[in-house]
Amino acid sequence: MKQLLSRFLDYVTIDTQSDPYSKTTPSTEKQWDLAKKLVMELHQIGLQEVSIDENAYIMATLPSNTDKKVPTIGFISHIDTSPDFSGRNVRPQLVENYDGKDIVLNKSKNIVLSPDYFEDLLLYKGQTLITTDGNTLLGADDKAGVAEIVTAMEYLVQHPEIKHGKIRIAFTPDEEIGRGAHKFDIKKFGADWAYTMDGSQVGELEYENFNAAKAKITVTGKSVHPGYAKNKMVNAIGIANEFLSLMPPREVPEHTSGMEGFFHVHKIKGEIEKAEIELIIRDHDAVHFKARKEMLEDITEKLIKKYGDHVVLEMEDQYRNMREKVEPVFHIVEIAEEAMKQLKIEPIIKPIRGGTDGSQLSFMGLPCPNIFAGGHNFHGKYEYVPLESMEKAVKVIVKICELTDSQIK
């Protein structure tokens, strides 16, 4: 626990925020700071074939210690943090023996982490919580996963009596901006399957995620003196507002859950001459996903007929639902499920309302379900992770390695 905690606290204080507007890989130079540190650490704990490429993708090997012919499995996490909230000068706080009451994150700003709003807190009474100081995100997404993988590998190195096949690990940049798997070398990694350690609550085991796309609507206008604008002015702001009014108002993140998809407008700016809307489209069902994209196309065509060629829609698919790639090799989910059960952790198998590197990796030929890393309230100042949840994740990794060996005769 002490080693895991020390490792995690060290990682989160390194700013690795990614940048969706950058064209480089990694998208920010500061991601190299943690990447280089990890390479040194992997050598120090005794892993082999430690490598880092020109894009900051890190890979390493824990060699097999069994005479059996065991599949090569992998564990993957990402080193970047979300661009949605500051990751600079992270100052984690420890709340030991949590009493189930409000946690004051920042007294001067009156920022409080309360179980009245975040009910999951009550699951962790008596445990050690790691929180933010109210000024930044924490970075448990996904530095908790990184710390868990490194700690699990160190444990296996130190306990050779636990038999396992060849284990590959990898850490990727830029997952938070949808590019974590873009330059991942599947052939070099060489695993039969892998698990991303990038989930939330203890017990989460996910092999289904959103189909995802992003869209940008650009509206051009014509500025004319408002006193003489009749039949002359084209107000880009007004047309952009009309576009939004034609979208279903309840199909947004704040009104959906479970298997319900949504549109999420995350940026809008405008003047009379030009307005821009940026949004994402999400749905687990491929047919509904296609219909959502077609809806945006239909709205665009309607406004073009009304106002002329002042509206341009750009759409780009981001990732797909990994279920179709994981179901044919469902034993890889069953191994993880059995590992949790043997550790007396109740598996929570549910669709991800998001995506992970694993969704792209699965379609690249590396089936890759997602396992809990323990954190909650990602991408903001209320993010926290129980230390005990991270310890359980370490144990799940070790048990999966053990079970993969024991199931081979």
Residue 186 is given by DSSP the state H
For residues 84 and 110, state if they share a domain.
Answer: yes
Which pLDDT tens digit goes with each residue over 361-399? Answer: 999 999 999 999 999 999 999 999 999 999 999 999 999
* Amino acid type, 257: S
Domain count, the chain: 2
pLDDT band at 235 (very low <50, low <70, confident <90, very high): very high
Collapsing DSSP to helix, strand or coil, 302 comes out as helix
Domain ends where: 319, 339, 364? 319
User: What is the arithmetic mean of pLDDT over 145-167?
Assistant: 97
pLDDT for residue 355 is more than 70: yes
For the chain, give the mean pLDDT. Answer: 95
Collapsing DSSP to helix, strand or coil, 30 comes out as coil
Question: Of 345, 374, 347, whose CA–CA distance to 129 is shortest?
Answer: 374
Q: How far is CA 316 from the centre of its chain?
A: 19
For residues 162 and 217, state if they share a domain.
Answer: no
For residues 343 and 374, state if they share a domain.
Answer: yes
Question: Of 53, 339, 334, whose CA–CA distance to 193 is shortest?
Answer: 334
CB contact at 8 A, 194 and 168: yes
| Contacts for 119 with CB less than 8 Å, ≥ 6 apart | none
Residue of 15, 19, 142, 175 marked active site: 175
User: What is the arithmetic mean of pLDDT over 212-236?
Assistant: 95
For residues 118 and 263, state if they share a domain.
Answer: no
What does the H/E/C string look like for 91-105?
Answer: CCEEECCCCCCCEEE
User: What is the arithmetic mean of pLDDT over 106-123?
Assistant: 95
Residue of 15, 19, 80, 148 marked active site: 80
Structure tokens at 359: 């969704």
What span, in angstroms and rounded, lies between the C-alpha atoms of 109 and 131?
Answer: 16
User: What is the arithmetic mean of pLDDT over 213-223?
Assistant: 96
Q: Which of 264-268, 310-314, 356-360 has the lowest mean pLDDT?
A: 356-360
pLDDT attached to residue 319: 87
What span, in angstroms and rounded, lies between the C-alpha atoms of 168 and 87?
Answer: 29
Structure tokens at 156: 């296996």
Q: Does the active-site annotation cover 175? A: yes
For residue 87, give Cα distances in angstroms to 16, 21, 135, 370, 383: 7, 17, 9, 24, 12
For residues 274 and 301, state if they share a domain.
Answer: yes
Structure tokens at 33: 């700071």
Phi, psi of 396 (to 5 degrees): -65, -45
What span, in angstroms and rounded, lies between the C-alpha atoms of 107 and 104?
Answer: 6
Q: Is 59 left (phi over 0), alpha (psi -120 to 50) or beta?
A: beta
For residues 308 and 353, state if they share a domain.
Answer: no
Instruction: Return the higher-pLDDT residue of 147 and 358.
Output: 147
First-to-last alpha carbon distance for the chain, in angstroms, is 34
Q: What is the CATH number of the domain that holds 51?
A: 3.40.630.10
For residues 159 and 44, state if they share a domain.
Answer: yes
pLDDT attached to residue 409: 54
Structure tokens at 304: 């073009």
Collapsing DSSP to helix, strand or coil, 60 comes out as strand
pLDDT attached to residue 406: 75
Q: What is the CATH number of the domain that holds 305?
A: 3.30.70.360
CB contact at 8 A, 265 and 278: yes
Domain ends where: 269, 288, 319? 319
Structure tokens at 273: 């001459």
What span, in angstroms and rounded, lies between the C-alpha atoms of 39 and 228?
Answer: 66
Phi, psi of 144 (to 5 degrees): -65, -45
CB burial of 236-264 (b: ≥16 within 10 Å; e: otherwise) equals bbbbbebbeeebeeebeeeebeeebbbbe
For residues 312 and 346, state if they share a domain.
Answer: no
pLDDT attached to residue 397: 98
pLDDT band at 408 (very low <50, low <70, confident <90, very high): low
Give the burial class of 345: count Cβ atoms within 10 A of its Cβ; 0-12 exposed, 13-18 middle, 19 or more buried. Answer: buried
Domain ends where: 261, 296, 319? 319
pLDDT attached to residue 352: 87
pLDDT attached to residue 318: 86
Angle at Cα 372 formed by Cα 321 and Cα 152, nearest 5°? 120
pLDDT attached to residue 226: 94
Give the burial class of 269: count Cβ atoms within 10 A of its Cβ; 0-12 exposed, 13-18 middle, 19 or more buried. Answer: exposed
CB contact at 8 A, 215 and 318: no
Give the burial class of 69: count Cβ atoms within 10 A of its Cβ; 0-12 exposed, 13-18 middle, 19 or more buried. Answer: exposed
pLDDT band at 253 (very low <50, low <70, confident <90, very high): very high
For residues 19 and 111, state if they share a domain.
Answer: yes
| Residue 276 lies in domain | 211-319
For residues 37 and 159, state if they share a domain.
Answer: yes
Which pLDDT tens digit goes with each residue over 187-215? Answer: 999 999 999 999 999 999 999 999 999 99
For residues 16 and 141, state if they share a domain.
Answer: yes
pLDDT for residue 86 is more than 70: yes
For residues 230 and 292, state if they share a domain.
Answer: yes
Q: Does the active-site annotation cover 142? A: no
